[in-house]
Structure 1
Amino acid sequence: MDRKMTQAQTRNSTAPIDFSRSAAARYVQLASLFRRRVESGQWPVGSQIPTVDELAEECQVARATVRQALDLLQAEQLIERYRAKGTFVTGKPQEQFWCEVASNWDGQLIAPDGVSIEILSARDRRMPSSADLSLGKLAQSYQYWHRRHWRNGRPYYLGEVFIDEKVCRRIPAKAFETKTSMRILRDLPGLEIVEAHQTLTLGSADPELADLLQLPLNAPVAHVHRSAVDRNGTIVFIGDGIYRGDVVRLDIRLK
């Protein structure tokens, strides 16, 4: 194990932390701060982090608040506590697993290795409320799926899928348990996708999302909205997905 890091080594500035800028509980905000220190290497893997007393003094919070924050990191297997020895960093968030949000068409067709897809609800007829009509016209009706993706025993993605009901009649139900939505559409004979769009925005987990993705309340998440248009100008697919923010990676070729 590396030597213990001093309080001065971990402090980013002499100014106290302003916890009033967020509605999140203090321990959740502290956990985000500590998690970032692990991820950035400020608290390297193998190093002993400051004591609860030192962190409480640095952050100007109660010792119980620090303990709650450290409980979250321990649950994520980022730290381990040893009686009479201290608390040590045992892993980094990006070492658990990355989930690349593909930024091109080919990338949308590939499901990551080791992924299992859970159907939360299926074959429910409803109309999407998030359609961008500047891309095309709506179909007469859509079929709706709600799916949760798992990897390494952890949920990392929630997806709501709307597909033109006429198109759905030709899709085997089993396909939704093994394939990405874009892959399902591409493999469907006679369907030509002429346009596809994706928008990514950042947000935080509300109580329902936190429960479904096994995240702390207000933890970062990435919202992805996707749509696909066929050669007749019909929006045949609309997808609204939410990724855990701690596993998202964007790789974009700039040249």
Structure 2
Amino acid sequence: MKNQPSRPSLPDLADPRKLAIDFSRSAVPRYVQLASLFRNRVESGDWAVGTQIPTVDELAEECQVARATVRQALDMLEEEKLIARYRAKGTFVIGKPQEQFWCEVATDWSGQLLAPEGATIEVLTERERLAPAPVEPSLGQMAEAYEHWRRRHWRNGKPYYLGDVYIDARVCARIPKKSFETKTSMRILRDLPGLEIKEAHQTLTLGSADPLIAELLQIPLNAPIAYVTRSAVDQAGRVVFVGRGIYRGDVIRLDIRLK
């Protein structure tokens, strides 16, 4: 029997202490990277709710960072209400990240019609007419011109979504101005008499926040974000809507029914 080639062994992910972490590979501040590592331990159950986590000294030695860096990382988790510190007792886990998800990116048509409960919409720019619009022509027959504006969605005092909206100018002229401040784009289109959405499409990709996005969504530079592109085609095959949006990555969830 021939000898089988040996397979390279993978790190033991069950024990994060066995992983060699090189924090210098990223431009993200070291304490932010460390907070992400600790947050994942809470989410995975490695640091279970109700249990005490290692001391600052132990974490500093494990991760080969300064104690001040560990404290900064733990400050972030404390602000997120994932941990609580007790003098003379230690630091304990009190919550899990997934319990804080409150913005679900809908994957079906009905889900696109409703904004999350308690959400408010802020219009950031005045409407402008664009001809031609910077949208993908492969989606269908393009309109002669589109109206464009930018909106920001808020909930619980936090901005969670930033979106650029492009709507066929002829369609846009029939939409009440108040609708742009209270309804999702898909809901606006659905409620418009005489307009039938024949086809709608959504694409989601992952990325990181540049300085402008970080400022508008109030998140750290290079924090994870989700880019979403949505489009809608009417009964005549014309692209009546294109939306390009950005969700902050720490508050979204994507659920897909597989069967």
CA change 1:72–1:153 in 2 (3 A) is same
Fraction of identical pairs, as percent: 73
The answer to whether the aligner puts 1:151 opposite 2:155 as a matched pair is yes
When normalised by structure 2's length, the TM-score is 0.88
Of 214, 225, 238, the residue aligned with 2:242 is 238
CA change 1:84–1:124 in 2 (3 A) is farther
What SS class does the counterpart of residue 228 from structure 1 fall into? strand
- Equivalents in 2 of 1:68, 1:48: separation in Å? 18
Amino acid at match of 1:208: L
The answer to whether the aligner puts 1:71 opposite 2:65 as a matched pair is no
Q: Is the 8 A contact 1:94 1:246 kept in 2?
A: no
Matches within 5 A, 1:33-72: 33-72=37-76
The answer to whether the aligner puts 1:141 opposite 2:145 as a matched pair is yes
What SS class does the counterpart of residue 173 from structure 1 fall into? coil
TM-aligned CA deviation for residue 211 of structure 1: 2.2
When normalised by structure 1's length, the TM-score is 0.89
Segments of structure 2 that go 5 or more residues without pairing to the other structure are: 1-13
Of 215, 222, 227, the residue aligned with 1:218 is 222
Deviations 1:8-35 (A, max 9, x none): xx84242321223323221111111111
What SS class does the counterpart of residue 147 from structure 1 fall into? strand
What SS class does the counterpart of residue 226 from structure 1 fall into? strand
Deviations 1:23-80 (A, max 9, x none): 3221111111111111222222222221111111111111121122122222222222
- Equivalents in 2 of 1:81, 1:141: separation in Å? 57
- Equivalents in 2 of 1:138, 1:83: separation in Å? 64
CA change 1:240–1:48 in 2 (3 A) is same
Q: What residue number does 2:110 align with?
A: 106
Q: Is the 8 A contact 1:79 1:91 kept in 2?
A: yes
Amino acid at match of 1:229: V
Q: Is the 8 A contact 2:17 2:62 kept in 1?
A: no
Q: What residue number does 1:28 align with?
A: 32
Q: Is the 8 A contact 1:45 1:92 kept in 2?
A: yes
- Equivalents in 1 of 2:64, 2:107: separation in Å? 42
Larger Rg computed on CA atoms: 2
- Equivalents in 2 of 1:48, 1:15: separation in Å? 21
Amino acid at match of 2:47: W
Segments of structure 1 that go 5 or more residues without pairing to the other structure are: 1-9
TM-aligned CA deviation for residue 250 of structure 1: 1.7
- Equivalents in 2 of 1:32, 1:42: separation in Å? 14
What SS class does the counterpart of residue 91 from structure 1 fall into? coil
Amino acid at match of 1:190: G
What SS class does the counterpart of residue 122 from structure 1 fall into? coil
Q: How many residues align structurally?
A: 245
CA change 1:124–1:97 in 2 (3 A) is same
- Equivalents in 2 of 1:15, 1:92: separation in Å? 23
Q: Is the 8 A contact 1:28 1:217 kept in 2?
A: no
- Equivalents in 1 of 2:172, 2:198: separation in Å? 18
- Equivalents in 2 of 1:133, 1:88: separation in Å? 54
What SS class does the counterpart of residue 17 from structure 1 fall into? coil
Amino acid at match of 2:43: E
CA change 1:11–1:217 in 2 (3 A) is farther
Q: What residue number does 1:196 align with?
A: 200
Of 243, 248, 255, the residue aligned with 1:251 is 255
Q: What residue number does 2:191 align with?
A: 187
- Equivalents in 2 of 1:69, 1:238: separation in Å? 39
CA change 1:128–1:60 in 2 (3 A) is farther
- Equivalents in 1 of 2:237, 2:66: separation in Å? 59
TM-aligned CA deviation for residue 157 of structure 1: 1.2
- Equivalents in 1 of 2:19, 2:100: separation in Å? 32
Give the CA RMSD over aligned residues: 1.8
Amino acid at match of 2:166: F
Amino acid at match of 1:46: G
